[in-house]
Structures are given as C-alpha cells and as structure tokens.
Amino acid sequence: MAKVTLSKSLHNNLKELSEQFNGSSNLKIRNLNVGDTIKREAAIIYMDGITNTQNIQDNILAPLLKMSRMDSIESVIKDHLSIMDVKAEALIDEIVLGLTKGKCFVIIDGYNQGILADAANWQKRSLSEPDTQRTIKGRMIGFNEQLKVNLNLLQNMIQTQKLKIESYQIGNEAKTDVALLFIDEYVDKKVLEEVKKKLQEVDIKYLLEARVIEDALEEKKTLFPLVFTSERPDVTVSALFEGRVVIIVNGLPFVLIVPCLFIHYFQQPDEYNSKAGRFGSRIFRLFSWLLALLLPAIYIAITRFHTGWFPSPFDKKLLTSETLLPFIWEVLILLFIFHSLLEATIRIPKNTTLLITLIGTTVIGETAVYAKIIHPLSLIIVGINFLTSIHIASGGLWGSLVLLRLVFVMIGYFFGLTGILIGLLLLILYMASLKSIGVPYLSPFIPFNAREMKDAIYRGDLRRLINSKHTYPHKENNKK
C-alpha cells in the first residue's frame, strides 16, 4: 500500500494530522512565522504531558524565529537547530508514531516534509534494589521501567564495541520499543537467528506485557518456564557473556533471557559474589525443590499405605489420624490456606500484611490443631513444604510447582510411593523433551556435557568461568 505523505500546504497538513488524533485535547499546535527577512507560516506540533516544552522553546522555537534564510528543510536542520535527535520526515505514519513517543514536529508552509525532533520527557522512578534475586554482597541496583535507563545500566557494565543492540517496534496499533542485545563473539548464532525470527513474527495490536514475547519464544504451552526473567543487570551481563540473548521491553522492569535451562533457576548472584555457598547452595536448592514437589505426596502415601514401616509408638502417635478429617483433606486444606496467605500478602496493601499474617498463623497454628481439625504432623509437613517452595519461588518455577505438587499428592494417595517414583521418572522424561530456543532444557545433564558441569551443580573457579566459552547443544525441530 502507498504511504501517505505530507503536502506543501501547511493548512492541509495540520488538518490531516489533527484527524489522525481525532481532535485529542493533548495534541498541541503552536502556530508561528519563521524567518527574519522572509516570513513563512509554520507550526510546531507536540503531545502535551510527554514532551519537554522548555527544550522545544530553547532548541527549536528560538532558532526558528531567528533564521535569516531558508533553502530547504535539511538546511534548517543543519544550520539552525541545536537539538541532537532530529531528522526530516514526510510520511504521516512516521510522524504520528514520533508524536506518540514524545517527539515534536515542525511544519513549514511550502515544503512537503517537516522536522521531527526528540523532546520526550517521560516520568520514571529512581533506581532501587531488585525485589527478586536479592543479594547480601554485590550490586544493589535493579532495572526500572525505562528502556533507555536499562540500556544505560548494561552499557555501563559492558564497555565494549562487541555489545550489539538491535531495535524493534512491536504492535500494530500502539508500537512498543523492544531491544535485542547480544555480544557478537560470544552469542550462540542459532539461538540469535531463532530469536530474531520469532520477534519478527509477533503480530499483535499492542504489547503491554512481556508474556506475549515469552509465549512466542516458548513455541508451545509447557509446565515449566522456558524463558528466564531477571531484574538484575549483573545477572544479565553474565548471561550475555555466556552466549545468551537478552530482550528488553520498554515499560517493564525486567529482561528476558534465552536460552533458559532448568539449572539456571538454582543459580543465585550470592554464589558469584562470595566464597560461601560455592559447593552446597545449588544442591540445597535442588533438594528444596524436590521437597517442595514431593513431600506432601510422600506423607500421604506413607499414612495410607506404609504405616507398618515405622515402630508402633511412632505409628500410633503421628501416623494415626485422631482428627475430624482424613490426612488427604488436611493436606489439601493446608495447601489452600498457605497459598491464600501468600496471595493475600502480595495483593493487599502493605499496612495490612502483618494483620493478615497474624490471623493466618492463629487460625492455622492454634485453632485448627486445638479443635482437632488438623493433625500437628500435617501442619509441620505442609509448613516445611511451603518454606522449601519459597527458596525457588523467585526463580520462576513457582507456577509449575503449584500444579505438579497437587498432581503428586493425588498419585501418592492412589498409588503410594511406587506411583510417586514412576511419576517422578515420567516428569524427568518430560523435562528432557523440552527445549528453549532449540537448546535441551536439562542440559548439561541430559545430554551430558562434562565441560559445562563447571557451573552446574557447583560454581567453579571464577577465572576459568570468565575465560571459558559456553556452548549449547541444539535439538533440531522435527519436520513433518
């Protein structure tokens, strides 16, 4: 389709642009006569509230009023305007897009193109410590919602010309700026090509959440997250030097990182900033994930099928229900209450969090047990399960954990420990079949890669990690 361009008539151009915004009240038009000796009618158009009017007045309006001669739009830009980001533009669509992004547009009568200059004045919050992946020792700064601020943080930490930044605009109705980052000599070329292809295929009216891009990168619905998210610039920089690709969406205080492996969710910044936890932290988190996944199911299976494994006093005191409900219902009710408490503390105002916590602990810890509705051991089991869940909740595995935990509780209730073991084996096989941008989800374990084990179960020597290049195995898509 032919692109609509400006005409040489100032009034026709103003009418066309006004119609594009349907008479919006925040579209401001400043009419003026430019030039010193030869006067020409002109107009400055901008969106009120998102532009810096002082910048427009000092670097655009004042120079235009003092012009002595005017040969072309290009000569006006080169000889008179002191603003940095400026260009000549004739396409209506590009002009409208620029205005919505905080730019101002100058039209001069007699020319079929105008001047599009950046004068944006977006509001942003100050940089603060990230809420997730917090660290005791290390950088205490996180991303915010402004794309340019986030790029500034990363470029400050990666001061090399090998860092490449590619810009995209996603959205048919409202365009959102998206940046694709990679380090040229480190990036996995197959991953980079696949990510570019998927970004170009995103076809939506507007982009408000990064979940849209995550869905496009994941290809199909899975129980596990195949795109890693991070609020920390240092984690992002490490990912770039590991050959991974980073995607930043304007308006969101976190980045997307691919490929994403299962082991990445058990790596924390503290391990790279201090000596403590080098060997045991990841094993502890993996064990916590298994407890969070299987502990309620094992408890149900033992109370239903395997009470004879334990001495009689232990069996009678702890594994025989003297409460009003069967063990399975106790566990399900406690899981529901704990999940409700977690949701409440996240959604409700901060000044009521303490009240909700006190009410929840009183109802669960004292009233339910005293009234013999909940067995004390059930409360302990679910409490431990909840605490181990929190260890890995910030990494992104919480959503899959909530569903799989209930599935294993049902398996334990009907099939016992044998069913749980079979279910765990099937889960591992399912995870081994997943891939993130063509990279197996369980690598470097499946398929096994001895060289990549230096940063898997334990954190290897930092000098060797920094100087070695990461490699990723690829699974080719099956073509029918």
pLDDT along the chain (480 residues), means of 10: 80 90 86 80 91 89 83 86 88 91 91 91 78 74 88 89 91 88 91 92 86 85 89 90 93 92 85 73 87 92 79 63 76 84 71 65 65 78 85 74 92 93 95 92 88 80 77 62
Local structure of 78: helix, strand or coil: helix
> What are the DSSP calls for 7-54, one per residue?
-S-HHHHHHHHHHHTTT-TTEEEEEEEE-SSS-EEEEEEEETTTB-HH
Query: What's the predicted TM-score (pTM) here?
Result: 0.83
Local structure of 59: helix, strand or coil: helix
β 439-440/255-258 pair status: unpaired
Strand order through the sheet with 114-118: 27-34, 40-47, 103-108, 114-118, 86-89
Neighbours of 63 (CB within 10 A): 16
How many CA atoms are closer than 13 Å to the CA of 405, on its beta-carbon side? 26
Residue 312's pLDDT is 65
Taking the domains of the chain in order of start, what are their residue ranges? 10-118, 147-260, 281-462
Residue 363's pLDDT is 64
Residue 377's pLDDT is 82
Please report the beta strands in 365-447, taking only residues with DSSP state E, as ranges in sequence order: 435-436, 439-440
Asked if 323 and 330 count as a contact pair (C-beta separation under 8 A), the reply is: yes
- Sign, CA dihedral 448-451-455-457, equals positive
Contacts (Cβ under 8 Å, ≥6 apart) of 25: none
- Nearest 5°: the CA angle 88, 200, 117 is 20
Residue 45's pLDDT is 94
| Cα–Cα distance, 147 to 330 (Å, whole number) | 48
* Residue owning tokens 């309620």: 296
Q: What is the largest CA-CA distance in the chain?
A: 107
H helix intervals, 306-397: 312-318, 327-347, 353-361, 369-370, 376-392
Pair of tokens at residue 398: 């919480």
| Cα dihedral value 393, 394, 399, 402, nearest 10 | 10
Residue 29's pLDDT is 92
β 114-118/103-108 pair status: antiparallel
Backbone torsion region of residue 333, taken as left when φ is above 0, otherwise alpha when ψ lies between -120 and 50, otherwise beta? alpha
Phi, psi of 210 (to 5 degrees): -70, -10
| Cα–Cα distance, 164 to 182 (Å, whole number) | 5
Residue 338's pLDDT is 81
Can you give the three-state secondary structure of 127-159, one letter per residue?
Answer: CCCCCCCCCCCCCCCCCCCCHHHHHHHHHHHCC
- Round the CA-based radius of gyration of the chain to a whole number and report it: 30
Local structure of 314: helix, strand or coil: helix
Residue 477's pLDDT is 46
